[in-house]
């Protein structure tokens, strides 16, 4: 699985580079007054820990967001970062 996720990760980062987007670009999230910052690279790397199918869906969604142009990539990473943040916060909640 490592080489598959590594290849998909490299492809995601290559797509950003081809679009002139720095993978160190970041998205900020305010959660109860505390700002959490996630770089595009961190978001990509986090999703590369998912299943092969989810990695491929991530790549396809990134390609689609690039084809939309304008704010497509920013909105994509904002949404993916929110998903990661919600997952992280929900793991800390004790039921």
What are the backbone angles phi and psi of residue 35, rounded to the nearest 5°? Answer: -90, 130
Q: Residue 32: what pLDDT? A: 85
> What residues pair up with 29 in beta bridges, in sequence order?
36
Average pLDDT score over residue span 11-37: 92
- What is the total count of domains within the chain? 1
- Of these ranges, 6-20, 64-78, 80-94, the one predicted with the greatest mean pLDDT is 6-20
What is the pLDDT of the chain when averaged over all its residues? 88
Strands (E), 6-55: 26-31, 34-39
Q: What is the mean pLDDT of residues 8-19?
A: 95
d(C-alpha 38, C-alpha 27), whole Å: 5
Domain extent for 63: 2-92
């Amino acid at each position: 699985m490592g080489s598959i996720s590594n290849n998909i990760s490299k492809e995601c980062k290559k797509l950003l580079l081809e679009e002139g987007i720095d993978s160190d670009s970041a998205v900020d999230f305010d959660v109860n007054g505390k700002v959490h910052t996630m770089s595009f690279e961190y978001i990509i790397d986090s999703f590369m820990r998912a299943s092969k199918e989810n990695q491929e869906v991530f790549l396809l969604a990134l390609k689609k967001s690039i084809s939309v142009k304008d704010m497509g990539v920013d909105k994509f990473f904002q949404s993916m970062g929110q998903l990661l943040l919600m997952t992280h916060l929900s793991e800390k909640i004790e039921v």
